[in-house]
Structure 1
């Protein structure tokens, strides 16, 4: 059961996993933060994102420009949104109570939790395909296990069980062991990516045909597509721009947080994206058409050693992104719903179970529907980012009464636990960010949906929020020194 809440704290808002991390236990360095991001950035979805950009008509160099702008914006948003976590040691689901109230906070927390479980399910099924390729190479007759159950063959069920078990093993060792896993996994996947890039350069005797492909976009069409590309890349990480305090609460200083994210986010993305383009360029030479799905590429190469090592790398890459970007935040979100019943171990196990119930094998190949749903949800999280930034920097002026975040009836309670300005701003920003998907006359907003959501959410929240007295210096837990 959860630890007893301190005197004056509400047991429905507190347990040991939601408690502020004391300064003595905030021991993540810039290296830990950088390697965690390395483990998240080089995943299958990001690898394939370059194909979407090139399909829009960009040249390879323009793809890199889109990635550079998108990840620089993300870095800035996460840098500022991470600061409260580093200063006070609190997770997203507690920090968000400052703006939404302890009851109203459940709205963005549930939305963020849904996204985390959804992405966990999608990424894990992709890893299961890689595991299935490995097992079919090592075990004769593996694919003959073709008994179908709930629309999926038995050999894929076994591959999924293996992937889910690996996730459970890593997550079951706790947050600090996750840090140690990422310290190895992040750089290792980058190293394997460099080997694949050297292979691609050898096959293509240079950058290859994709880097020679000219841009098909010019003038207004270019800038419209550029905005859409930047927004799409940001959309993949819009969920993490919200809950970055879940990681930054363990970092020892603001300096470590900033340096680690700068190295692990924009810099790693700028290294990883050309790796994907170069490797795919080699497939054009070998097979006559680009192959962006790495599992399909491994099967196409049809070399046992390459299939096993490449598949293992894909599994490792998926584990590294899922445990930090999906299982950890989803577990905190579930703990926030039931702090009396759940701790991190139980909540992370529940995430694994919920991931199966999403049944990704039934719709995995319908990418258009997947991304339409995720873009819609991502558009709704833009206002949450704007509200959080406006609340912490402009309304609270970076000073929080930490104990009040763990009890009802205090300065953050709003009206019976609900803060109307945040809820109205969330609704207004969500409507504006998503309107372009439903109203053709506002289609132009879709290209900048995340930016519209952030701006609208922050603006409406500030307009509706009264100026509040700051907490006294001795009200909250002392922040860590930067």
Structure 2
């Protein structure tokens, strides 16, 4: 058996989009041809159910209740937040469903080739940090699983200094989860639909079973009798701040939903299903977290509410229940880590160095960061770090706004898919940078910077400067929209305003002599017609 020798550069077969512009693309960044679009309606529903099921959703209400709000306000905030962000996710997801390119490529149409690096780097920083943290969360579930099978595992002699923020069994669990996670990082996104489908069936059944246990054992606990402890302006600012925090948790996907919608084989209109679907899913799963955690506090007579589901499950007497309960949360962490973090980071890494990085290599780099960033030490030694990561969403609101409004209002849905791979084409702007987008981005982010600094270091007082940050995503989104639209209309880029859109299928079908995934054009046209008819 002969094995291919590993090469430093990634493979890029001759394609219409790489012809003369190989510096800007590779096989994974090219538009997805028809015969490789495998995601249907069921796949996207399963993907989003999978994405909603994770420990963060379970704990959405915890921070809000801790600062004086009740479960009613908490669930209302979750609903409104996802109603808002789902509109943006649908708007930007539709671009990927129409042009079948990933987020880093589509960003070139609104930011310019070099300007797009602002959006790409902003996104990849968030992705790699959250990947590391979600990997650590998954390892905590592994600890509960192993402890249920082998109770002595929880009492292993610790040889790691306390200042490191992790124990010996915690390090072993992190290694185990990383090993389990690794094979999934090597699988093409088209072939991961089964993982999201499995998670969307297994985890909801388990969570609903936990909800039934909560009401059967204690009626849901005493949390439902809680009263609001804040009022006046403090109540209003807390409401806005928590709304921004919830939006921030999924602001990333409002930017790069096209990384997944590019694989769609169904019409663009199906992207609209997120608007009613996401608020319902996330609110219901957040309610399960509230009811179950409250029931645990009452049932086990705890001084504090066990918001961490792994802590809650550690009190269960039945070892089989502990194991399977923790298994569902480990599966939840695995699914959301791939869907929201590793694949997104991989596309960004590939766009930064397409000659050397593809999606698989990008995911390997992301996995390496899970160890390099030592998330256990970050969480143990820097309590404000997670505040900063949520706050980082103030950068993503402006990016999402620029991409959405550039496509729907400025360009009127008319992009040239081939020009997004040609740096000297219609999207070259000024030396590869659309200064309108950069100015709008700065205007959208600047008001929130004082509050962002305070969230990282509370000893730095910024006075009333904290308030813009408390609704930073919304402020940034709308301020950026206003500035970008104004500048784009006052200083239009006429060469980028085309009369007819150029879709990737037209390029694939008309560029004679170009090979697509090893298939000659004539055979390719026949095969895609067959696939297209069967999909319909």
Normalising by the residue count of structure 2, what TM-score does the alignment of the two structures yield?
Answer: 0.85
**Residues 264, 182 of structure 1: alpha-carbon distance in 2 compared, 3 angstrom cutoff:** farther
Out of 435-444 and 26-35, give the one that drifted further.
435-444
1:6 aligns with 2:31: no
Deviation per CA, 1:57-94, whole angstroms, max 9, x where unpaired?
A: 22222221111111100111111111111111111111
Contact 1:29 / 1:256 at 8 angstroms: preserved in 2? no
Counterpart residue number, 1:335: 350
2:172 to 145, 153, 158: 158
Alignment of 1:172-251 (within 5 A): 172-204=186-218, 206-251=219-264
Distance 1:5 1:337 in 2: 20
Distance 1:413 1:435 in 2: 34
**Residues 222, 476 of structure 1: alpha-carbon distance in 2 compared, 3 angstrom cutoff:** same
Contact 1:5 / 1:11 at 8 angstroms: preserved in 2? no
Gaps of 5+ in 2: 1-9, 454-461, 507-531
Alignment of 1:109-128 (within 5 A): 109-128=120-139
Secondary structure, counterpart of 1:301 in structure 2 = coil
Contact 2:220 / 2:292 at 8 angstroms: preserved in 1? no
1:134 to 138, 145, 164: 145
Counterpart residue number, 1:467: 492
Counterpart residue number, 2:465: 442
Counterpart residue number, 2:281: 268
1:428 to 428, 438, 443: 443
Secondary structure, counterpart of 1:148 in structure 2 = coil
1:146 aligns with 2:158: yes
Deviation per CA, 1:188-239, whole angstroms, max 9, x where unpaired?
A: 21111000000000111x3331112122234433332221121111011111
1:98 to 85, 89, 109: 109
Counterpart residue number, 2:334: 319
Contact 1:5 / 1:15 at 8 angstroms: preserved in 2? no
Please report how far the alpha carbon of residue 115 of structure 1 lies from its aligned counterpart in structure 2 after TM superposition.
Answer: 0.5
**Residues 434, 474 of structure 1: alpha-carbon distance in 2 compared, 3 angstrom cutoff:** closer
2:32 to 21, 27, 34: 21
1:385 aligns with 2:400: yes
**Residues 456, 39 of structure 1: alpha-carbon distance in 2 compared, 3 angstrom cutoff:** same
**Residues 249, 71 of structure 1: alpha-carbon distance in 2 compared, 3 angstrom cutoff:** same
Distance 2:170 2:127 in 1: 23
Alignment of 1:276-287 (within 5 A): 276-286=289-299, 287=301
Please report how far the alpha carbon of residue 130 of structure 1 lies from its aligned counterpart in structure 2 after TM superposition.
Answer: 1.4
Secondary structure, counterpart of 1:36 in structure 2 = helix
Out of 448-457 and 470-479, give the one that drifted further.
470-479
Deviation per CA, 1:438-469, whole angstroms, max 9, x where unpaired?
A: 43232221221001111122222223233244
Counterpart residue number, 2:526: none
Alignment of 1:286-325 (within 5 A): 286=299, 287-288=301-302, 289-325=304-340
Distance 1:457 1:340 in 2: 33
Counterpart residue number, 1:38: 49
Distance 1:230 1:352 in 2: 31
Contact 1:47 / 1:276 at 8 angstroms: preserved in 2? yes
Distance 1:23 1:440 in 2: 55
Distance 1:474 1:139 in 2: 61
Please report how far the alpha carbon of residue 258 of structure 1 lies from its aligned counterpart in structure 2 after TM superposition.
Answer: 2.1
Secondary structure, counterpart of 1:341 in structure 2 = coil
Gaps of 5+ in 1: none
Please report how far the alpha carbon of residue 472 of structure 1 lies from its aligned counterpart in structure 2 after TM superposition.
Answer: 4.4
Please report how far the alpha carbon of residue 367 of structure 1 lies from its aligned counterpart in structure 2 after TM superposition.
Answer: 6.7
Contact 1:38 / 1:264 at 8 angstroms: preserved in 2? no
**Residues 264, 146 of structure 1: alpha-carbon distance in 2 compared, 3 angstrom cutoff:** farther
Higher alpha-carbon Rg: 2
Contact 1:380 / 1:433 at 8 angstroms: preserved in 2? no
Deviation per CA, 1:426-449, whole angstroms, max 9, x where unpaired?
A: 222111233334432322212210
Contact 2:429 / 2:493 at 8 angstroms: preserved in 1? no
**Residues 45, 366 of structure 1: alpha-carbon distance in 2 compared, 3 angstrom cutoff:** farther
Secondary structure, counterpart of 2:229 in structure 1 = coil
Distance 1:281 1:475 in 2: 55
Contact 1:386 / 1:456 at 8 angstroms: preserved in 2? no
Deviation per CA, 1:308-340, whole angstroms, max 9, x where unpaired?
A: 111111100101111110011001001111111
Contact 2:413 / 2:501 at 8 angstroms: preserved in 1? no
Contact 1:432 / 1:456 at 8 angstroms: preserved in 2? no
Counterpart residue number, 2:511: none
Contact 1:146 / 1:155 at 8 angstroms: preserved in 2? yes
Normalising by the residue count of structure 1, what TM-score does the alignment of the two structures yield?
Answer: 0.94
